[in-house]
Amino acid sequence: MKVVHLAASALCLAGLSLAWNVDQSVLSEGRYDSGLFMPMEDLNALLESTFTTLEHPAFPKHSVRIKKTEFCDETVNAYTGYIDVEARHLFFYFFESRSEPEKDDVVFWTNGGPGGSSSLGLFMELGPCRVVSADSTRFHPESWNSKANVFFIDQPVGVGFSYASHGEYVSTTEEAAKDIAAFVHVFFEHFKKFQGNPFHMAGESYGGRYIPIFAAEVYDQNRRLVEEGLQPINLSSIMIGNGKTDFMSMYPAYYEVVCTPVTRDPILDIAACVRMKQAVPRCIEWAQKGCVDTFDMFSCQAAISFCKTEIMGPFEALGLNPYDISGKCEGDEADTLCYPITKDIAHYLDRPDVRKLIGVDPSVTQNFTGVNMTVNAAFIAAMDGYHPTFHYVSNLLDRGIKALIYVGKNDWICNHVGNERWTLDLEWSGGEGFRNSPKREWLVGGKVAGETRSFGGLTFATVIGAGHMVPYDKPAEALQLVNRWFAGEEL
């Protein structure tokens, strides 16, 4: 989940090519295995009462504070902690698999926004428990940790329980990627039982921008680590749900979803649809010139303002849920994100006993918010969301990293029409084969769950009856989707 789309469409339209710095002098001296580094190896050795700090001499600016935490799913080992990058501190949850932790895949999950806390993904969507009231959680049988070890990370700094010692924030995905790559390598260097397991980087919404860049950073860092004799991460795939990966493909798609029967019967009146249709070419021309061909912030802002008014405005006036057009927005979107359960999650995470249990740093005194609007505003001011990331996807595919793009069909803000369009237009070695592959139905329990197209390492899938948050609306179908993906099976 994500952010209020009213803030420059922060969800779909609204991290670091500067790689986290491996100390080259340390690597060249071989100090990482000269007796100075002793990996912790066993997560069971962690304490519940206090944090254990993990470090690595090759990564002197990064460390991980981690503790065992019995909550949410008592059938598995759970851990919480912070990724410490000098004065920046990113909060995370880690749940081992309910099946075979030592053998099962490892999944990194981030929510979108920008500024959205992954606590929403944990407690509302794919985590081992769901918050059902302000004071209670319930075991979630369709959690993605059924057959995978799963991280939920509050990033970038300032999101959720993450914090900065001196108030620092990042404002671009490329900056955020540095911290994520650092954490991944420090963690796997310590807990080597997971090191060779397939690693998947997953996210939804603005995660369509986050995940390709994060994965590219891990991949590029792997190459440097191999050159220096360190063990690389077994990066296997990226997984993007209802993502903002190519903002340009969404503008014509906004018209199609509400004015044609591509999803359901048209929901806007004819006059409004005609005006939208006439505005689409101008929107595309301006945005292409100002935001894509030669990025000029002033020209891009002007183009996006026009597109929002003419293409997005008519739908927003309806009061429907932009994340699920089958119903009205429940509550004030700025307060509930159209889902009142988000308020219960916030109340639950504001309980002092819960914060103490999971180890929230005492310096984090503010109330929990599902979306940090300060972070959101910084990314919007930098126009971060108007740099397409599909080129990262094509480069990852050409290097053997698979990509699963799945979309709930009831979503409007990051809809299936726009997401399918960029996958079909994607330039990569398997592009022609993907475009020539027919769509077919995929089934769960003998019933049609959606449609899918697949070729080489790329798979696109829709999920019928789901909106922006597929695991929330269709948990059984979402679990089948990812379990088949982990197993390398056809949907």
Rounded Cα distance between 154 and 95, Å, is 15
CA–CA distance from 286 to each of 40, 141, 292 (Å)? Answer: 54, 48, 10
Q: How far apart are CA 439 and CA 409, in angstroms?
A: 15
Tell me: pLDDT of 184 over 50.
yes
Mean pLDDT of all residues in 93-100:
96
Q: What is the pLDDT of residue 128?
A: 97
2-15: per-residue pLDDT in tens?
Answer: 333 333 333 443 33
User: In the structure, what pLDDT confidence band is assigned to residue 254 with cuts at 50, 70 and 90?
Assistant: very high
pLDDT over 60 (residue 63) = yes
Q: Which of 411, 416, 454, 473 is catalytic?
A: 411
pLDDT at 267 over 60: yes
**pLDDT value at 26 more than 70:** no
Distance CA 94, CA 107 (A): 10
Q: Are 201 and 39 in contact (CB under 8 A)?
A: no
Please tell me the least confidently modeled range out of 106-120, 172-186, 441-455, 463-477: 172-186
Catalytic status, residue 165: no
pLDDT at 38 over 80: no
Whether the pLDDT of residue 236 is over 80: the answer is yes
Assigned fold of 24-247+386-486: Rossmann fold (3.40.50)
Pull the structure tokens for residue 33.
């295995």
pLDDT at 193 (0 to 100)? 85
Residue from 154, 344, 468, 473 carrying the catalytic annotation: 468
Is 468 known to be catalytic? yes
Residues 350-390 have pLDDT tens digits of 999 999 999 999 999 999 999 999 999 989 999 999 998 99
The whole-number pLDDT of residue 39 equals 63
Beta strand 163-164 with 88-95 is antiparallel
Residue 47 has a pLDDT of 76
Helix (H, G, I), strand (E, B) or coil at 85: strand
pLDDT at 110: 97
Please tell me the predicted confidence (pLDDT) of residue 80: 95
* Average pLDDT of the residues of the chain: 89
Residue 32, pLDDT score:
42
In terms of Cβ atoms closer than 10 Å to its own Cβ (0-12, 13-18, 19+), residue 153 is: buried
* Whether residue 411 lies in the annotated active site: yes
d(CA 314, CA 48): 52
Given the structure tokens 């995905």, which residue do they identify? 173
> Helix, strand or coil for residue 105?
strand
To the nearest whole percent, how much of the chain has pLDDT over 70? 91
Q: How far apart are CA 209 and CA 254, in angstroms?
A: 19
Sign of CA dihedral 124, 130, 133, 135: negative
Provide the pLDDT for residue 18.
27
What average pLDDT does this structure show over 71-98? Answer: 92
The residue ranking higher by pLDDT, 295 or 16, is 295
The active-site residue out of 97, 205, 236, 249 is 205
At 40 the pLDDT is 61
pLDDT at 27: 39
pLDDT-wise least confident of 44-53, 75-84, 174-183, 444-453: 44-53
| Chain segment 286-310, per-residue pLDDT in tens | 999 999 998 999 999 999 999 999 9
CA distances from 480 to 193, 419, 449 (A): 26, 21, 10
pLDDT for 179 equals: 83
Half-sphere exposure of 265 (CA within 13 A, CB side): 1
User: HSE on the CB side for 69, CA within 13 Å?
Assistant: 23
Domain boundaries, the chain: 24-247+386-486
**Identity of residue 195:** Q
